[in-house]
Amino acid sequence: MTPDTAARLVAACNAAAALVVSGALGVTLWCGLARPGTAVAFGLLVAAGELARVRLPEERAEARNTGLLSGAAALGYALCGQVAGASAGHGPAQAVAVAVVGSLVGLTPLVALGQAPPPQALARLVLGVGAAALCCQPLYGRGRSEGAAVPDGLLPLCLLAVALLVGCLDALLAAAAVRADESGAASPGRHGRAPRPQLRSRLATVPALAATAVLFALAVAVAGLPALPLCCAPVLVIQFALRRRASARATHRPTLASLARAPEVAGCTPRGHARRVADLSRAVGRELGLSSGELTALEYAALTHDVGQLSPADPVPGGATAVLDPGSQRRVALLGGAVLRQAGVRRRVASAVESQADPYREQSVTARVLRTVNAYDDLVSGSGSGTSGPGARARALHRLRAAARDHEPRVVEALSRVVARTADV
């Protein structure tokens, strides 16, 4: 998916959501609420879910908000056809209106704190709830007063299928929004690529959201509104785990940043080298379609790949490990990995640092990118000034292509495309 296509898709979704909201609110105000108690209960649950959003760091200066409870509650209301054995009585318009009002109420404090999600999140919620409510109309019979139109044994499966479909479409639209907002989106060389890392990370939460939404709908159909608090437990456990993980990652990054600065402060590496390698490695990783977790591990490994230079008695001239013999490169890499393991850094990061001097066919893709980008920065910087011209960049890429035994050609070509786009900016 090209950035232009993604931008047009996001704009179309926002426009469609605005029309749906206008129509839903108008119909609801004109016809009034069916079962106001049920509407208020689900609306409050949506608002509570928005307040309980978890902020997940994904980029250095960006974060993704995830509200599993709010999404599950809104979707559950759209799937709900009965309340304690009686017809729920609401249609798609009321389902959308309740989701929108509840979401806006819950987001108001987050807007004041500057932590609200982008407008696309609300647009996706509107479209998802509206689509789910429309798909469920045939399942419950015309007017929702004739009972279920499918056998009782098939109804949960049908509801789950609708919820999974809506969740997958929401993940696709969310990934498209990220793709449309990417820096350098209009650059050549990236056309035709799907936003795979973002899509994979968001699809991981779809089963939990869909299952909780179906649980809301079925539990209310049997036991009424008192079942709502009990149904919140599974998704609250997931959000608690996500919050703990986000907190751990927030404290992990400063630790790695301190380790990354240590070789520069000690004068072992040029100032800014680790940051340049991390930025360029992450860009190359995106070019190769790495997942979000792989990109994070790659950035952390790039930041700390030179900590092994603190151990040798003889410093590396200019801090450029690319000019060392293979034995010295491997010794520095192993020392760096040992330091990271003792510091409690995740295994994947330490392994990438340890293996950065190994033959590329024996390396993970993270280590391959790290080795190539580190060599490129060493060759371009030369004296450690961090400045380079077109000639220095071309010579460095030529040397990397010539050293096909040491650097994977696919990684070198990805680096070449990233460097070309950066030079054009």
pLDDT at 190: 41
Which of these, 94, 92, 90, 93, lies nearest to 145 by C-alpha position? 90
pLDDT at 359 over 80: no
As a residue count, the chain comes to 425
d(C-alpha 408, C-alpha 371), whole Å: 10
Lowest mean pLDDT among 126-140, 179-193, 345-359: 179-193
Residue 235 to residue 54: CA distance in whole angstroms? 12
d(CA 363, CA 354): 10
What DSSP designation does 315 have? P
- 298 burial (CB, 10 Å; 0-12 / 13-18 / 19+) is buried
DSSP category for residue 116: P
What digits encode the pLDDT tens for the residues 240-287?
A: 776 676 666 666 667 777 777 777 776 677 788 888 888 899 999 988
Q: What is the DSSP string of 157-219?
A: HHHHHHHHHHHHHHHHHHHHHHHHH-TTTT-TT-TT---HHHHHHHHTTHHHHHHHHHHHHHH
What does the DSSP assignment read for 245-281?
Answer: HHHHHHHHHHHHHHHHHHHHHTTSS-TTHHHHHHHHH
Q: Tokens standing for 50?
A: 């928005």
What pLDDT sits at residue 30?
A: 93
Would you place residue 43 in the very low, low, confident or very high pLDDT band (cuts 50, 70, 90)? very high
| DSSP states of 58-91 | -SSS-EEEE-HHHHHHHHHHHH--EETTEE----
Give the pLDDT score at 141. 63
What pLDDT score does 189 carry?
39
The type of residue at 90 is H
A 10 A CB-CB count for 207 gives 13
Mean local confidence (pLDDT), 158-183:
83
Judging by beta carbons within 10 Å of its beta carbon (0-12, 13-18, 19+), is residue 267 exposed, middle or buried?
exposed
Tens-digit pLDDT profile for residues 188-215: 334 334 455 567 767 877 888 898 899 9
